Structure 1
Amino acid sequence: MTAVVTGRQPVLGMLLVGPVLAGARLGPRATAAVALWSIGLSAAIDMWSGEVPPLDAVCDGLVLIAGGAAAVYGAGRRVGREAELLRVVRQSQNAVLRPLALEVGGVSIISRHHPADRSGLSGDLYDLAHSPYGLRVVIGDVRGHGPEAALLCAATVSAFRDGAYTTPGLVDLATHLDTRISPELGPEDFVTVVLAEFVPGEVRLVNCGHPAPLRVGRRVEPLPPSRCSPPLGLHPVPSLQRARFGAGERLLLYTDGLSEARDANGTMFDLDKGVRRALCQPLLEESLDALVSLVTAHAGGPLQDDLALLICEPRAAAHADRPTGPRGSSGSSGPKGDIPALGT
């Protein structure tokens, strides 16, 4: 009998592995099904061998029942914690990615967000602050997806809200964001951001590893930084750039879900004249609808990456008559291209 019992210990251990692994990955019902399967398999082995005393078989069954019950309980606790975490993260996400459609600081702004994850969680972020230094806007992209990325988005937006009203310089604001969120980042995490500050006739930008904004007027003009900087969390070296931004022009801020959207052949979305036509619709909301339709058609279906879009337009241009697209007297005035700041 001792030999039989000793020989059954490895089998009993193997039968317990299934419920334990199921409890760590699956829900309570699936875990219970695996536990019942293990109990049934144990009974079948005992009947087939015919060498296990009834008392030992009952003891083995009780051990499997206890182990299965513990696995089911653990699965229920884990699922409950994950559901609570998801609820909290979604609340944070809703605060971070609240829809924008307003006029503030002399600029009309509208936003659009399309998460790739079915849960609705996103690694993209945007926000604005009507600060003493002018209207400030941030758009960014956290590496990765899911709850962890959403929490990093919330941390970045929180840091922006704290610093936007008290930090005079836009470059200093970028440094503030990096200092605040770096302790929250893992070894391979980073956050790309563009900070924009609007003053009459001009937009000031700080870009840390993010796709360049597009200025749309008579043509589509990317506004890349004169000196590239790594993203937040990777020792950024932010620099200030200044660009004309007047009546009859629009500024598109976006995440790489737009510029890196691919078709069936792997060709990336082209920020060409089609984008200009989309962004020249009379209303900003119509422009966003047209742009989303354009990139979705290019991808041939739902987008595989998160997408966040912001369109900004000087308020004076919002009521201008633009039958063929944004343009105006200030569209041809002012300096050409970007003007590097005199210092950081």
Structure 2
Amino acid sequence: MDSGTHLVMGIALGGLALADPVVAGSSMTTAAVITATIIGSQAPDVDTVLKLRNNAVYIRHHRGITHSIPAVILWPLLITGVLSLLFQDANVLHLWLWTFLAVFLHVFVDIFNAYGTQALRPLSKKWVALGVINTFDPIIFGLHVIALMLWAFGANPVWTISILYCILIIYYIIRYTLQQAVKHAVKNTIPDAEKIILSPTMRFFQWRIAANSRTNHYVGRAYGRSITIYDKFPIEPLPDTPLFQAALEDSNLAAFLSFSPLYRWEIRELENNFHEVRLIDLRYRSDNRYPFVAVALLNNNYEVVQSYTGWIFSEDKLRKKLIVD
């Protein structure tokens, strides 16, 4: 989920913590726990700072080790250790328990996005992405804001947040059921589809579709069970050529391949004897474009002179990022 949603989730969890008699019975423990649930709900996303380095590092590591099994254990210990020094009369055990729940909830809800997490590390580096909830879901965020406003105006936080969570559980079940119905509709539209990836959008009934058969990539949209296929591309194996192999050794293209499960490739001959190798993620079609790409420019000696991976919404912007003297 986005940072704003994780924030309101952390505050709401702090309200639910007041159901714990130990937390509710001590003002110091209450303050410590609410602080901890807010920090714990944000902590796994500390790897966002990797974007300051470059996109390749960010793509490879965001929602990776910081969302792993060891991290879910270590974050609460670290946060509890620091906060127990600031709130010395707080109950350390209950502080740790609610901090652990905040961190676990962060990783758990991220699994339901299309981006997913490597939550099973170190057991597996596989990305776990259920693709049920958009990264920012206005309904989830809005329900949290309403619940927090009711709490601010005097409603019982325990009952308010408990009702909120019951509604959210029902909402997640509805979203999962809808996703399965859309997958079934895609299968009816593309009978030979072997891999179907659905990406939710902020519109409740609308989904992005990317699918593979043995011979073709398919890209489209779903509105409810109504399926529209926009593009169909033949599946072509990656070329086993010196040019392409040199490009794949570049860190930007390697990061793209570690993240993208469904993509196509292009090779272009440019001016000044440069070659362009482009990898195109098929999951994010928008306004007739595929904005998530990895691009490498190579000279005639098959040396990468410029490369980039990330979101590009116009060729002009891409050319500005790949200026070669």
Tell me the TM-score range normalised by the shorter chain.
under 0.3
Which of 1 and 2 has greater Rg? 1
Identify the structure with the greater helix proportion. 2
Q: Which has the higher contact order (CA 8 A, sep 6+)?
A: 1
TM-score w.r.t. the length of structure 1 is: 0.25
What is the TM-score when the length of structure 2 is the normalising length? 0.26
